Structure 1
Amino acid sequence: MPQYNYPAIIYKQRGTAEALFCICTVVVGELRLWARVDRLTPENQQGVQRARKDARVDAIEDFLKVDERNTIPTSIIVALPVAAATFGALDLQTVGTAPQAVTLTITTNEAQPQPGLIIDGQHRTDGIAQFDANMPVNLVTIIGPSDDEIAFQFVVINNKVSKVAAEHIKALKIGYSSANLDARLRKSARMKSSGEPAYLDQIDTQDDSPFRGRLKWPRNEEDPARAIPVNAFEMAMAYISRQRIDQTASSDPNPDFVVRFFIEVWKVVAEKWADAWADPAGKLTTKVGVICMTEFLVEAMVSWSTTPGQAIDLTDLNQVRDLTSAALDQLEPGLWTSEWNAASLDTSSGRGKIVETLKSIQRNKLKGLPWNLKVPLVDSTI
């Protein structure tokens, strides 16, 4: 009955948490002796991990090979049942948010030769072991999580890096408590059971969102305060996503960053153009206003960030706020409260005309000319 001993720190991250965190280091080759990867397959409906990708494992090994200074600080996260772990004479019921130094002892047996379950880090574990099985790694062990907790943590952690496929989440819901997992994902991770980010809820309900309570849902179509169709936000977010401002290596943009970027940009618009924002008859907070202003502002910031000699990082939201303010200085809020000489602009060509109008205003302002000089939608020839 092999045992493995590690000096560790144990604590609860919050008093209401179900599970305990135990933090230590472990040689990666030894970790693989007592922790397994439980992959989701048709025969294993309670496996949480996705299929192993050799390219990702090789990439980890190559990263370590290319420079002897390279290290991987990110922790491997493992779930461990209480029955497989002891902590000397420590009573787990007494563990609180204050960290305690302990010796973690993991006991295996024939029935459970690998009681640990890798929730996050299967490719890092394999890649590091492929490079050097004696290399130590940081380890966060979740002590005593329920099956539902394991499934929840897997989806939330992994969706930040590479979006968990909708089919994978649906399959998890077969093996776990569907209602509990679905509700918790929506509440805690802003995700729908389809695997898509529930960013509309976030935009509509988050305290610092300038659009809080402004989305037009079927349940409140008669409420004039909620005047903006939800597809305005879907199109705006899709445009931001296509620019890959998040700069992650993932094939999919980071949905959390995209919605945060969108909210920060529009917070500046609402603050700087308070009168146009508050005008109930204005066009700024209409569908075409949200879409076209988002497109113009993002295009301007991307252009500035790619200009040689500019130290601009669009993942820094402080810089994003400053850049948004600078872009607004090159526009005119009066456009959105003026009479336009065209209607029915909620089409691809109509929205294109609005964006061109914004660019014309920008050129006029930069040249010191009247903002509405030969501007398509207001057509002044002053």
Structure 2
Amino acid sequence: MTEYNYDAFVFHQRADGRGPELAMFLAPAAEVEAWSDVDRLGPDNRLAPQREPSRARISSIQRFFNDDPRNTIPTAIVVGLQPMAVEGDGVSRRVRIPPGPYEGPRKPGLIIDGQHRLRGLAAVAPDTLVPVIAILDADDLEMAFQFLVINNKSARVPRDHLRALALNFPSDQLEARLKTARLSLNPNLGSVGVLDEDEGSPFRGMVAWLNNHENSRIVVPSAIEAMAAEARSMGFPELSENSDVLNSFLIAMWAEVRSVWGELFVADSKLLSKVGLTCLTHFICITMRTWARNPRLRSQVNVGDPDMVRTNTRDVLTTLDSTFFVAEWRSSSYDTRAGRDLVVNDLETMSSNIAAQKPWYRGLQVVDRSWLDDWLRERGETIQASMDEDEP
């Protein structure tokens, strides 16, 4: 087994020498993965600080490195190290991590902050260098304390500060670099820009703004902003706290919708209207939230895993009929709170109808009755049940 040795600066941050001893060094990402682990929070491990890693966040870091050869992440990961040895005297010393196999579930290093950075850097290349700040011989209480402090003391830089800083640099050059980090000085870009530009997005090149060809401007920017707001409000911390996970979630969800209902991804489609996009996003999210609260189903829901999001979306769509978004609706606009509630209620009713093997249109409030009569007549059918929900 390999023994890991690193030249390090070892010090106490406090001038009086109190507090934990710290070591600062560089190590290849693959090596850090070999001797470190993450203590994850769960029903059987309630003192652990970390959540399960998010594939979307790991992928976003890998993508950030691949988008521009100048991109780096100088921020150190923080680990607790024990047992280990420090050789030498003074500030410059040698940190030695003994070889495995390691006893028990823990490795010598326990990641306190930066698990996604480490996994993302390792995904770029095993020899990518990772800055490490190690707390030497830290006990569980110290590591939990450090995790809470690190994750509750950070603050975003005010947007006006960013704009003021940007005035001193060529805007086109700075904007281009920021896009590789999924950031922008434009407050309206956010998820709209990512979903319009990401290669995997089903909305790529379709946003109705000047960046795109006039004939391709199908989805209004406010519709994507509303979708993002719906997803953020659903109670999944990963979506409300991290824009990369949110955007990956929306891309995965709507890529599956397009795969199943591709014929609706055209101009003037009700599905691609602000109401259609917002209401279907809401319905899929609340369905996933219901599954996540069910002990028998929660393992099948992970909003940070694009593959699982696509599977969940596909399952939801099997309980709906795309004809709903082709039908004439009773009103020309449902873009109000009350109107959106009607559309969402109809999606819920339709889902229940199909699950019960009843006509999809039974009890719907939005679909125009005359249109439905004509639609059924063209198929040689008659209305099998009243449009009124209270009739058999």
Normalised by the length of structure 1, the TM-score is: 0.58
Q: Does 1:309 align with 2:299?
A: no
- Of 238, 242, 250, which aligns to 1:254? 242
User: Is the 1:182–1:192 contact (alpha carbons within 8 Å) kept by the matching residues of 2?
Assistant: no
Q: 1:205: which partner in 2?
A: 197
Query: Match of 1:228, SS?
Result: coil
For residues 33-182 of structure 1, the aligned pairs below 5 Å read: 71-72=110-111, 128=135, 131=138, 164-167=156-159, 170=162, 173=165, 177=169, 179=171, 182=174
Q: 1:229: which partner in 2?
A: 220
Q: 1:139: which partner in 2?
A: none
**Structure 2 unaligned spans of 5+:** 1-7, 11-23, 30-64, 93-105, 116-124, 143-149, 373-382, 385-392
Rounded to whole Å, the distance in 2 between the matches of 1:338 and 1:202 is 31
Identity of aligned residues (%): 21
Q: 1:359: which partner in 2?
A: 348
User: Is the 1:265–1:324 contact (alpha carbons within 8 Å) kept by the matching residues of 2?
Assistant: yes
Query: Match of 1:71, SS?
Result: strand
Rounded to whole Å, the distance in 2 between the matches of 1:349 and 1:365 is 25
Q: 2:231: which partner in 1?
A: 240
The alpha-carbon distance between structure 1 residues 24 and 33, as it changes in their structure 2 partners (threshold 3 A), is farther
User: Is the 2:78–2:113 contact (alpha carbons within 8 Å) kept by the matching residues of 1?
Assistant: no
Which consecutive segments of 4 or more residues in structure 1 shift more than 6 A? Answer: 5-11, 18-21, 23-30, 67-70, 194-197
The alpha-carbon distance between structure 1 residues 301 and 8, as it changes in their structure 2 partners (threshold 3 A), is closer
Matched residue type, 1:351: R
Q: Does 1:215 align with 2:203?
A: no
Q: Does 1:340 align with 2:379?
A: no
Rounded to whole Å, the distance in 1 between the matches of 2:128 and 2:255 is 43
The alpha-carbon distance between structure 1 residues 189 and 264, as it changes in their structure 2 partners (threshold 3 A), is same
Rounded to whole Å, the distance in 2 between the matches of 1:339 and 1:171 is 46
The CA RMSD measured in Å over matched residues stands at 4.9
Rounded to whole Å, the distance in 1 between the matches of 2:80 and 2:345 is 59
Q: 2:58: which partner in 1?
A: none
Q: Deviations over 1:82-101 (max 9, x none)?
A: xxxxxxxxxxxxxxx99699
Offset of residue 193 of structure 1: 3.0
- Of 284, 295, 303, which aligns to 1:297? 284
Normalised by the length of structure 2, the TM-score is: 0.56
Offset of residue 291 of structure 1: 0.8
Query: Match of 1:215, SS?
Result: coil
Q: Does 1:187 align with 2:179?
A: yes
The alpha-carbon distance between structure 1 residues 360 and 162, as it changes in their structure 2 partners (threshold 3 A), is farther
Aligned length, in residue pairs: 275
Query: Match of 1:193, SS?
Result: coil
Q: Deviations over 1:174-218 (max 9, x none)?
A: 798574884255321111237887321111111221111111125
Rounded to whole Å, the distance in 1 between the matches of 2:175 and 2:357 is 54
Please say which of residues 264-273 and 334-343 is displaced more in the overlay: 334-343
Offset of residue 267 of structure 1: 0.4
The alpha-carbon distance between structure 1 residues 174 and 330, as it changes in their structure 2 partners (threshold 3 A), is closer
Q: Does 1:331 align with 2:320?
A: yes
Offset of residue 164 of structure 1: 2.5
The alpha-carbon distance between structure 1 residues 204 and 71, as it changes in their structure 2 partners (threshold 3 A), is same
Rounded to whole Å, the distance in 1 between the matches of 2:221 and 2:77 is 46
Matched residue type, 1:254: N
Rounded to whole Å, the distance in 1 between the matches of 2:158 and 2:250 is 24
**Structure 1 unaligned spans of 5+:** 35-66, 77-96, 102-118, 136-157
Rounded to whole Å, the distance in 2 between the matches of 1:19 and 1:301 is 35
Offset of residue 305 of structure 1: 1.3
Rounded to whole Å, the distance in 2 between the matches of 1:309 and 1:26 is 35
